[in-house]
Structure 1
Amino acid sequence: MDTLSSKNSPEGGYRLTQTVKARPLVSIITVVRNGRKTLEKTITSVIQQTSNDLEHIVLDGGSKDGTIELLHDYNSSIAYWRSEEDIGIYNAMNKGIELAWGDWLFFLNADDLLHDKHVIADIAPHLRGAAGCVFGTVVYDTGEVHISHVSSSIKMYNTVHHQSAFYSARLLRQMGLRYDEKYAICADYELNLRLWLNSTRFVPLERVVSFCADDGTSRKNPMRAFHEMQLIQKNALGLVTSLLSFARNVSVYFLISRQKAKIRAVQQLLRNKK
């Protein structure tokens, strides 16, 4: 329970009262707004890690649902948290980058979980090299598996899932990279594309990193995501590539939508027969 600061304080965490003797290997950054119902499970999945070579940073966007009270309850487990208004999820993530002390950055949403208690311990040996991004696999709460990969396909769509990727903090700072806040949904894709275009070394791992909710902003707003991807590709790769990518992604979206509609129809028929 909270013993470190007043319940009225807009910030907390053990950094405010303890001397941190060494930089952690990994900074796990969570951004949240009115996520009281799911945030505790996210925090717990970090606390349960068998590796201690990490810190947890939480940026709250001025929640009114009890999130701040929950954060106070975990003051002794979270390195640092702050509650203040932001101008979007990527604005909050950029704040997290500035606050992080770790050599590597990992972004874990407030309704997502680390897959198991050994994730950081298993990933750590692969973070000792010269890679710029180390990534694994994500499992959605629907059971769908997203296996990230890096190839020239990244010019067409985001091939590296955000909740699977560990980024070198040193590299991002050396390159002056931040999330481009003019994008509301696809700034993580824009960052991955810039890294790839700069010949960053991406290292894939056969390891499930996290469980993710299937209601992320990009999945709920596919057409807006397509529009942002087209703008990103136009700026980075030119108009022709962006138009080809848009046509491909819209075709895939409607194909998947039709398949899902067929599945729902079959499921309804089966229910009607019962």
Structure 2
Amino acid sequence: MLPKLSVITIVYNNVKDIERTMLSILNQTYSNIEYIVIDGASSDGTLEVINQYEHRIAKLISEKDKGIYDAMNKGLGLATGDYVLFMNSGDEIYELETVEKIFATTPNADIYYGETEMYDENWNSLGRRRHQAPEHFTWESFKYGMSISHQAIYIKRSLTEPYNLQYKYSADIDWIIKIAKKASSIVNTHLYVAKYLVGGMSKKKHRESLKERFQIFNHYYGLVSNIINHIVIAFNLAFYFLKHRRTND
């Protein structure tokens, strides 16, 4: 029997992008998907767009929340699938056959992951993320940065727990590391699995997000190792921008 996948979309006042996200999920060739939408009481027409597809949505909540991770916890609490995937408003599952291809790679893995393509606000491709998905992912893989995007990781629901609401911008990093520590079977699908719209909350609150990430990495990797790792991150970042500046000149 095909494993059930719970796909959760969080949205608030994003009438421009919500339908594109929803259709990338609702039109999947994979048949066993439970679609959950958590709306933060949108007032810009978003809810009206969602309601056009209400008959195809398993569960819908529209109410005020205490932030994105509170909303994501609501979705997680409603999920009944064998696996969960967060595909928030503005992002897309890569292609309509993606879920089918992912579950065809290896049966019953704890985690499946893949690559992400970035898009700007006009939905022009910016290419692959700067952080390439690692060949072999473990809980230690994030020490040089978030190498797998949140939209590109399918997780067995039995391993999940609520997001830690003490983090406002980077709770997804803490959540994934915590789950990866418990996972025994992690599969690299070697596929592009998600399209990501740049400019989310962590980008808008970049400094606060970086502070939280440093705090999270301290917790899991230790202060001294974290400082050394951040020196490596800074070097890699400088090399990346220097390389791309030369390419563009």
Normalised-by-shorter TM-score class:
0.7 to 0.9
Greater Rg over alpha carbons, structure:
1
Going from structure 1 to structure 2, the CA distance change for 1:92 and 1:23 (only over 3 Å counts) comes to farther
- 1:148 and 2:133 aligned: yes
| 1:44 matched residue in structure 2 | 23
Alpha-carbon distance, 1:251 to partner: 4.3
| 1:185 matched residue in structure 2 | 169
Is the contact between residue 148 and residue 159 of structure 1 (CA under 8 Å) also seen in structure 2? yes
CA distance in 2, matches of 1:72, 1:192: 31
Is the contact between residue 231 and residue 242 of structure 1 (CA under 8 Å) also seen in structure 2? no
Higher RCO structure, 1 or 2 (CA under 8 Å, sep 6+) = 2
| 1:25 matched residue in structure 2 | 4
| 2:122 matched residue in structure 1 | none
Alpha-carbon distance, 1:198 to partner: 3.5
Structure 2 residue corresponding to 1:135, chosen from 86, 89, 113: 113
SS across alignment from 1:244: helix
SS across alignment from 1:178: coil
Alpha-carbon distance, 1:262 to partner: 6.9
CA distance in 2, matches of 1:23, 1:57: 19
Structure 1 residue corresponding to 2:88, chosen from 84, 105, 109: 109
CA-to-aligned-CA distance 1:29-76 (integer Å, 9 cap, x gap): 000110111000111111211121101101011211011111221111
Going from structure 1 to structure 2, the CA distance change for 1:32 and 1:263 (only over 3 Å counts) comes to farther
| 2:41 matched residue in structure 1 | 62
Unaligned runs of 5+ in 1: 1-21, 267-274
Percent of aligned positions that are identical:
27
Q: What is the RMSD of the two structures over their aligned residues, measured on CA atoms?
A: 2.5
Normalised TM-score (structure 2): 0.85
| 2:156 matched residue in structure 1 | 168
Alpha-carbon distance, 1:196 to partner: 3.2
Unaligned runs of 5+ in 2: 120-124
1:133 partner amino acid: I
CA distance in 1, matches of 2:150, 2:18: 18
Is the contact between residue 106 and residue 187 of structure 2 (CA under 8 Å) also seen in structure 1? no
Going from structure 1 to structure 2, the CA distance change for 1:23 and 1:124 (only over 3 Å counts) comes to closer
Normalised TM-score (structure 1): 0.78
1:143 partner amino acid: L
CA distance in 1, matches of 2:227, 2:163: 23
Q: Which range moves more in the overlay, 94-103 or 140-149?
A: 140-149
